[in-house]
Amino acid sequence: MQKLTSILAFVTFVTPVASVVPVAAVATVAAASGLGCAVAGRSAKNSLELVESWPRGTTLDHPDLRDTADVWVEMIDRAKSRIDFLEFYAVSSDDSAMTRVLDALDRARARGVRIRVLVDARFSAKMPDLPARWAQTSSITVRRYDLRAITGGVQHAKLFLVDDEEAFVGSQNFDWRALEHIQELGLRISEPDVVRSVRAIFELDWALAGGEMQLEVPRTPGVPSALRAASSDKAATTPITTTPIATTSAQHTPARFEGEPVELRLVASPEQLRPPAVGWTLDVLREALLRAHDEVCLQMLDFHVVNFDGQRWLELDAAIRAAAKRGVRVKMLLSDWSLKRENLDDLRALATTPNVELRVMSIPEDARGFIPYARTVHAKYMSVDGHWAWIGSSNGAKDYFYASRNVGIAVEGPAFAKRLAAFFEGNWTSAYAKPWPQRAR
């Protein structure tokens, strides 16, 4: 029980259901434990790096941004004791950039680095070879996370941690195609408080996947979820619940991007699976849209208001429309994969709203021929007024916010937001982006 108690203490500050702890008290405990906000001005060096993947054979490369494979290899080669991956799935291919990443992992194992890999149970079953191979080694532990059994969603986050010193969070799946055939964006983070919060998410999911903790999801909206320690000890199975998290500036961590000050905030979903000081992605995005004054630049793989269960979901759609109604110019970029028949009417209605513009990006086939599940734009990010930005793993549908595990970073500060807006503008004006729907001539 000592190990389980430490997991519970690390992942979330808990209190018996019968008692209530003020948010201020939770913040005090969080600060004392090292999971609170950073000390202002502590970061003297760059602790945030924007990293891209781009489809080879296109003009979408940005020379000032390092490629994902290069950064991953560098991070793995720096590992001294442990590396932890939280991935949707894992797949490689011979003669791809992923072989360099796998070679780096082999070097890490040879140095005695311990590796844990957590993948979605259902989706990774479609591509089981790499996790199965890893599981046969003594230095890699693999768990499969059946989040559908807990919340009805999937493990969709894409992140990893190195020695509690660095984290990588973004849209890049652990997939060879995500390194050279898909546009992706991610962040390399070395700000200690943010890395600790990423660690808290990983440890929570690792415990849930291993049966060391159980989550009882309430059916009534607004009722806190109950976390139970999985044990035959009756006393240990007493329900515990996370204290509600306030949206305050105390959750922002000072950092530096390209020599300029910024503030970081880790965000995640689903709402009921968040450690303290981690924002709920949907709330953070809606708040940013509510505060927008001039321009919003939003890119996702897809955006749809009909959920997987057939129910209509309009929260994000309504926030975009409300911003446009206030006179904010909203520019949206989606992959052509989003143009599904059942989605066209709703997309057209949004795209023809005054002050809303939609363009769809199409990436041509690779010179070597067709590659399944590739040649698209998969980055998910938003820039608001050249001052606020978000990068993550969520697309524009209800499941990504309410049921599935997704993780991202909100960044306050013009240095980063303007760089992200410039990235967006490059896509927006590229030969691969076309207005949608096409205007009649």
Please report the pLDDT score of residue 243 as a whole number. Answer: 33
Please report the pLDDT score of residue 313 as a whole number. Answer: 97
Q: Is the pLDDT of residue 3 over 70?
A: no
Q: Is the pLDDT of residue 25 over 70?
A: no
Task: Return the structure tokens found at 99.
Answer: 């072989």
Task: Return the structure tokens found at 331.
Answer: 């520019």
Please report the pLDDT score of residue 49 as a whole number. Answer: 99
Neighbouring CB atoms inside 10 A of 439's CB total 7
The stretch 256-267 carries a mean pLDDT of: 98
Q: Is the pLDDT of residue 10 over 60?
A: no
Please report the pLDDT score of residue 217 as a whole number. Answer: 60
Please report the pLDDT score of residue 12 as a whole number. Answer: 39
The stretch 52-64 carries a mean pLDDT of: 99
pLDDT digits (tens, 9 = 90+) for 100-110: 999 999 999 99
Q: Is the pLDDT of residue 48 over 70?
A: yes
Q: pLDDT class for 277, splitting at 50, 70, 90?
A: confident
pLDDT digits (tens, 9 = 90+) for 377-411: 999 999 999 999 999 999 999 999 999 999 999 99
Task: Return the structure tokens found at 113.
Answer: 């680095």
Q: Is the pLDDT of residue 223 over 90?
A: no
- CATH code of the domain made up of 2-215: 3.30.870.10
Please report the pLDDT score of residue 309 as a whole number. Answer: 82
The stretch 111-119 carries a mean pLDDT of: 99
The stretch 150-171 carries a mean pLDDT of: 98
The stretch 148-176 carries a mean pLDDT of: 98
Burial class for 32, CB neighbours closer than 10 Å (0-12, 13-18, 19+): exposed
The stretch 430-434 carries a mean pLDDT of: 99
Q: What is the CA radius of gyration of the chain?
A: 21
Angle at 112 between CA 108 and CA 117, to 5 degrees: 60
Please report the pLDDT score of residue 226 as a whole number. Answer: 60
Please report the pLDDT score of residue 6 as a whole number. Answer: 44
Q: Is the pLDDT of residue 237 over 70?
A: no
- CATH code of the domain made up of 248-435: 3.30.870.10
Q: CA 242 to CA 437: how far, in whole Å?
A: 45
In the chain, % of residues over pLDDT 70: 81
Task: Return the structure tokens found at 435.
Answer: 């207005």
In the chain, % of residues over pLDDT 90: 79
pLDDT digits (tens, 9 = 90+) for 331-377: 999 999 999 999 999 999 999 999 999 999 999 999 999 999 999 99
- Of residues 179 and 244, more confidently modeled: 179
Average pLDDT, the chain: 87
The neighbouring-strand residues paired with 186 are: 51, 170
Q: Where in the chain is the domain with CATH 3.30.870.10?
A: 2-215, 248-435
Q: CA 303 to CA 395: how far, in whole Å?
A: 6
Pairing mode of beta strands 14-16, 240-242 = antiparallel
Q: Is the pLDDT of residue 96 over 80?
A: yes
Q: pLDDT class for 227, splitting at 50, 70, 90?
A: low
Please report the pLDDT score of residue 32 as a whole number. Answer: 34
DSSP string, 114-161: EEEEEEEHHHHTTS-HHHHHHHTSTTEEEEEE-GGGTTSS-B---EEE
